[in-house]
Chain A
Amino acid sequence: MADSAHNLLAASRVRLLKDQIARYGVTAGGVMVLVALLLIFFYLLYVVFPVFRPVTLEQHETFAIPGAGKTLALGIEEQNEIGFRLTSNADVVFFAARQANKGFDSGEIIATEALPQLQGELVLASTTPAMQTYAIADETGKAMVVRPDFRTSFPNDVRKLTPYIGYPLGEEPFVVDQQGQSLKLFVFERGEEQATFAGVTADERLIVTRLLGEENFMTEEVEWTAEHYAVRAQAQNIDELKITPDHRMMFVRHDNRVDVYDISEPESGISRIQTLDFGKKQLTAMGLLSGASSILIAEQGGIISQWFQVRTENGREFTRIRDFDAGANVSVLASEFFRRGFLAGTDDGKLSLFHSTGDTRLVTQKLANDAIDQIVFSPRADSVLVEEAGQISYVEIYNPHPEVTWNALWTEVWYEGYSEPDYIWQSTSGSDDFEAKMSLVPISFGTIKAAFYAMLFAVPLALAGAIYTAYFMAPEMRTYVKPTVEIMEALPTVILGFLAGLWLAPLMENNLPGVMTLLIVLPTGFLAAAYGFHKMPKRLKQKIPEGWDAAFLIPVVIFLTWFSFAISPTLEVWLMGGNARSYITNELGISFDQRNSLVVGIAMGFAVIPTIFSIAEDAVFSVPRHLSNGSLALGATPWQTMTRVVILTASPGIFSAVMMGLGRAVGETMIVLMATGNTPLMDFSIFQGMRTLSANIAVEMPESEVGSSHYRVLFLSAFVLFIVTFFFNTISEFVRQRLRDKYSNM
């Protein structure tokens, strides 16, 4: 007996334990739902976050200038391990740029390579950063073209870089000045088959020398021939020269102006095409941005202006696009290799990082007290070497996504090559120089536009339908209508999209007048049918059960639709001269896409109707009967009861239904993907397509590189969608909760 009681107790203990475990397990399972939602939220945020992380400049190491002589140019290789200096002693000094370089202290010389064949004082010219090529001219007017380079080898599975000097145009010096003068200023640019030198000689002549390369078929070596040109210009007070990498233009900086010369065809004369005048302001520095469409000019006081060519009445002219403020006189400008970012070093030792299209100063850091002499970016733009007052600093930059700023995403940006600031989404292109244009405005606009037209179509149909179904329809018919709407909700959007794109779009294009007629004919048809029913003999009317009006109207709808489409071609000939499409394009001046907002509105409206319908129907149906009965008893007609009592009571529910529908319309992907042309336009016309946030993600996500700015911006647009729909859904749910409480109190 005692034994069995003991057993019972033990058994019940086990049972209680199981009960506890079940309780915790189930609670954990319930909380999982919340965790899933939070996980989505935070993961999206986590991917987006680096875009908005502040940019930092961090001065890592500073060391005395390695090697002797004056620095003509600084450089650093891709891994940020080895830096180099081209010196006035006609050599190249390779040194460890940071401690991490195995076996070397920072600033320790790794190798020194002499450049023979050069005599006396040297002048140096460098190409745009991406080429990493330098030309060095000596006092006899001859120049050598060198490219410090690195061989990578893997002895014992450890990466090892060996520096050497490459001679991309051959080891022979070129004659820059035929008169053998030394050069005061010197610039150089090189392409595959062309190279251009320009300089100011000691006797104040501005000269241009063009090298043309021709491949020798036997040896496959390129042979270079030089042509020399003189530019007629005052050359005394030239401060700086620049050549664009496409060899078409030369910029000459004087005290307070920059002259632009066309050097694309020097044999037919080099002419000045424009002068950028700064009035009383003295200019302090000049630089080209990567891609070389833009020139940066720093004036006294630290204002840096960006200029590029814009189509104007006088042809293409350099125009001042935007200004940046460096705070003090700029001594050096350095641009990144591939992006549109640049650094300005000032007289008072400050370093400021800018991004041109982002239109922002990203960060400013004071490095020293003296003027900065040299700045050079590493190819990946994640570090720079800075020389000032006899020492070199290795500065690390954290700046992975400079092009994504609040301004770039949401305001008009003036991109290179465009005639005015605009909202543009264009994330990829074939060209290397291409700059991604990532304005979320056109695609957000597209989303709103698509949702707007869908709601325009869906809200009246769904709400009116819900009101009728909930309040006037016979219960037997209601048992058929509700499942039908559920089926409508279950239809895959890919099928709706396919039908919209391949069936509805051409159908509507061919029968535009018919579609317009339908809009007028349907309501009038309903009224006519209603009047007809009203005028029917009483005897007949009584035989027909109440609440089946919708069923009677089905044949009316079918007939009217058939009728509209049947008379469409006739109307087209009468009203629009036989071709609706060309009528709209030519006579009305509206451009017409086959896959337009009208199609999207109808197709997406179709997808949204059931969402709105079921919630609104529910809200109207659960309005307590005693309210409407009271109203009817007081003599109100059913319609008056509906509009003045029922709808008012149910209005929060109706609002929440519309919110839910809006949430669905905003996030819908497949229908817009298939039923529009997917062009990111900013046009509210009903006859044009759009690109929405969701379709944009679906189209571009598979091709975007993981971790790139593009990838993160796509995540950002997903995050925006998430937040927007979260907002709509939460409001709607909140309102519905309140309504439910209200009903239960009635």
Chain B
Amino acid sequence: MKTWFKSGSPWIWMTAGTVSISLVAVLGLLLLIAWRGLIYFWPATIYEFDVRDQFGNINTVVGEIHDREQVSVVQLRESGREIEGEPTDMVTRYLVKTGNREFVELDFRWILETDIIERRTPENLAKVERQKNGNFYGEVVEVLDSGQPIAGDLMEVLFERIDRVADLNSQMAAIQHSDIGSINYKLEKIRLRERGDEIRDRLTQERIDGYNAEREALRNEYLGYEKKLFALRDETTRDAVVVKDMRGELVTISMKYVLDVTFPNRMGVFSKAAHWFVEVGKFISNEPREANTEGGVFPAIFGTVFMVMLMAVVVTPFGVVAAIYLHEYAGKNALTKIIRTAVINLAGVPSIVYGVFGLGFFVYVMGGSIDQLFYPEALPSPTFGTPGMMWSALTLAILTLPVVIVSTEEGLSRIPSTVRQGSLALGATKAETLWRIVLPMASPAIMTGLILAVARAAGEVAPLMLVGVVKMAPTLPVDGNFPFIHLDRKFMHLGFHIYDVGFQSPNVEAARPLVYATSFLLVTVIVGLNITAIGIRNHLREKFRSLEH
């Protein structure tokens, strides 16, 4: 034993242990996010519990088991519960999501295992997803058409009516977003043109009349759409579904609010799996509802991707040129050393400092000047002088610049110098060698740098909180109105979505699964990008290693 200690082998094992801890932590973390994120879409069984309350009455509680934990008997006694058993005994406590937010005080409640008398999973229990007030759990009794029950197969009628309303809703959304949205956009443009004429002192009566005529035309168009919209809205209120809730009361829910009805207790594994894919699809493609705590994350995905693409367009040329300078042109002098230090420092400066710089310099100085020069008619309300897409992309471009530089330079240094010398010996200039020989060979490395930069930018939140991200953007940065791409708009971002929903939302418990799902999405994208980059890089290393021999 003593010699064993002396050999130092236990200490080697200890250091090995730290590696294991790190590996377990990383993999465990990824698994945790994956598990929690993916289970969100799996249709959960709806239970019907008979629960005894503290007065001995027996109540029925219907809902999904949201979470469970072990509590010791001592803790329960301390919180005033009378319970039998040894102090060290553990009791399971369930967090049940009961939904029906407008009828019960809390849509989540803790139930002790010992209070549950019976637990059933009746097949006809349904989960009604609604536009407002979250889910509703209960038993579907009948479907009403203008207040009259519809005869026939309940399920068939139910789903037919849900589809009908979904169709109407999407028509309404189309009118509201594209048609009415574009009218509002045009009206605003007219106002700005008029104001611009006024500032430049060329607002003649003729022009005013012109503007007013345009306005009138738009207004008439608007009235037409409004009429259509109201007609559709009336149509949606025609049907309703009657559901018996856990209190045994019949609740009529207008079809207008019903998004979907599912019967998870009837589903087998395969139909659950099918449903899972549908839910994932909805999550990716839908807009958020109810202060971001329900629905999908499409605008956040779109905002993230668009911003990152814009950033890539900016950062790639600068990063590549800087790397070429450092590797191909720079001599061994003080300036090169200083620039290298600057690169390292740019990589090490906290991201929030970039945010502060972006807010002060890009938004207020540059944006403010742009507004003065090009958008005086919109002042005092700022166009570019406020946080937005463009400034976010620029800020992140500076932030990710070192990533591209370092990666590109590594790629350049792996290209054997014989290749360059060969080209120069054949009479090519240095620039030609670079352009025709070196850059094409380094392109996978540049790609790697770009991918890493994109991955970094996609996960960065702190600077964006200052330069352009919002919790709820009414419009996407790209739409059908000229000039189609609106770089001055604020946008939503997956990372900020996680922060906002997880920490700023009033009902954290209800929102948490959604945050896990969003996190999983973000982690998948970032880990995927990184693995791709690592793969390309390793492939490249192998390739050039063989070139050297």
Contact = CB atoms under 8 A, between A and B. Distances in A.
Q: Do A and B assemble together? A: yes
Interface in A407-432: none
B244 interface: no
A510 B335 CA distance: 56
A27 to B, nearest CB: 6
B72 A39 contact: no
A372 interface: no
B291 interface: no
A492 B32 contact: no
A486 to B, nearest CB: 6
B508 interface: yes
A669 B352 contact: yes
Interface in B276-299: none
Interface in B323-348: 324-326, 328-330, 335, 337-348
A553 B356 contact: no
A158 interface: no
A553 B87 contact: no
Nearest to A483: B534
A521 to B, nearest CB: 12
A494 B461 contact: yes
B353 A465 contact: no
B16 A468 contact: yes
B427 to A, nearest CB: 9
Contacts of A494: 459, 461, 495-496, 498-499, 522
A667 B357 contact: no
Interface string B404-427: 010000000000000000000000
A30 interface: yes
A550 B16 contact: yes
Contact of A484 (B7, B26, B317, B522): B26
Contacts, number: 348
Interface extent on B, as a size class? Answer: 35 or more
A499 B527 contact: no
Interface in B3-27: 4, 7-27
B75 A637 contact: no
Q: Max chain B CB contacts within 10 Å: which of A43, A553, A637, A725?
A: A553
A728 to B, nearest CB: 7
A554 interface: yes
Contacts of A526: 13-14, 16-17
A501 B504 CA distance: 12
Given A33-B322, A640-B8, 13 more contacts: A26-B321, A29-B324, A31-B339, A461-B22, A464-B18, A494-B522, A527-B13, A549-B13, A557-B20, A557-B24, A674-B503, A697-B355, A701-B359
Interface stretch (B49-57, B206-214, B428-436): B428-436
21 contacts: A18-B429, A19-B429, A30-B325, A39-B361, A461-B18, A473-B16, A483-B531, A486-B530, A487-B30, A492-B523, A494-B461, A495-B519, A502-B502, A549-B16, A550-B16, A553-B16, A573-B88, A578-B87, A697-B356, A718-B352, A725-B348
Contacts of B350: 666-669, 694, 721-722, 725
B465 A698 contact: yes
B267 to A, nearest CB: 29
A490 B322 CA distance: 23
A29 B12 contact: no
Q: Max chain B CB contacts within 10 Å: which of A22, A27, A486, A640?
A: A22
Contacts of A47: 360
Contact of B434 (A22, A613, A706): A22
Interface string B50-84: 00000000000000000001101011001000000
A503 to B, nearest CB: 7
B305 interface: no
Contacts of A743: none
A570 B512 CA distance: 29
B8 A486 contact: no
Given A40-B353, A578-B78, A730 B25 contact: no
Interface in A386-425: none
A483 B541 CA distance: 14
A491 B17 contact: no
A29 B401 CA distance: 12
Contacts of A681: none
A218 interface: no
Contacts of B498: 494-495, 498
B526 interface: yes
A424 B241 CA distance: 58
B502 A669 contact: no
Q: Max chain B CB contacts within 10 Å: which of A472, A569, A640?
A: A569
A467 interface: yes
B29 interface: yes
Nearest to B330: A30
B324 A523 contact: no
A501 B32 contact: no
Given A488-B22, A572-B72, A37 B431 contact: no
B306 interface: no
A493 interface: yes
B13 A34 contact: no
A499 B36 CA distance: 11
A706 B364 contact: yes
Nearest to B338: A34
A718 B461 CA distance: 16
Interface string A138-179: 000000000000000000000000000000000000000000
B346 A701 contact: no
Contacts of B78: 578-579, 582
A177 to B, nearest CB: 53
B465 A522 contact: no
B104 interface: no
Contacts of A510: 69
Given A461-B21, A729-B348, A492 B461 contact: yes
Interface in A549-578: 549-551, 553-554, 556-558, 561, 569-570, 572-574, 577-578
A523 B4 CA distance: 17
Interface string A106-139: 0000000000000000000000000000000000
Q: Max chain B CB contacts within 10 Å: which of A33, A579, A732?
A: A33
B8 A637 contact: yes
A668 B351 CA distance: 8
B455 interface: yes
A502 B78 CA distance: 25
A531 interface: yes
A669 B499 contact: no
B300 interface: no
A694 B318 contact: no
A714 interface: yes
A574 B74 CA distance: 11
Nearest to B317: A29
Interface string A657-668: 000100110111
A638 interface: yes
Contacts of A102: none
Contact of B502 (A16, A481, A501, A525): A501
B462 interface: yes
B24 A577 contact: no
Given A469-B19, A527-B13, A495 B339 contact: no
Contact of A472 (B15, B432, B465, B466): B15
A576 to B, nearest CB: 10
A490 B529 CA distance: 10
A472 B527 CA distance: 28
Contacts of A733: 340-341, 344-345
Given A26-B328, A486-B534, A495-B498, A550 B20 contact: yes
Contact of B353 (A484, A530, A718): A718
Contacts of A502: 502, 508, 512, 515
A37 B349 CA distance: 10
B348 A44 contact: no
A180 interface: no
Q: Max chain A CB contacts within 10 Å: which of B78, B345, B461, B495?
A: B345
B90 interface: yes
Nearest to A726: B345
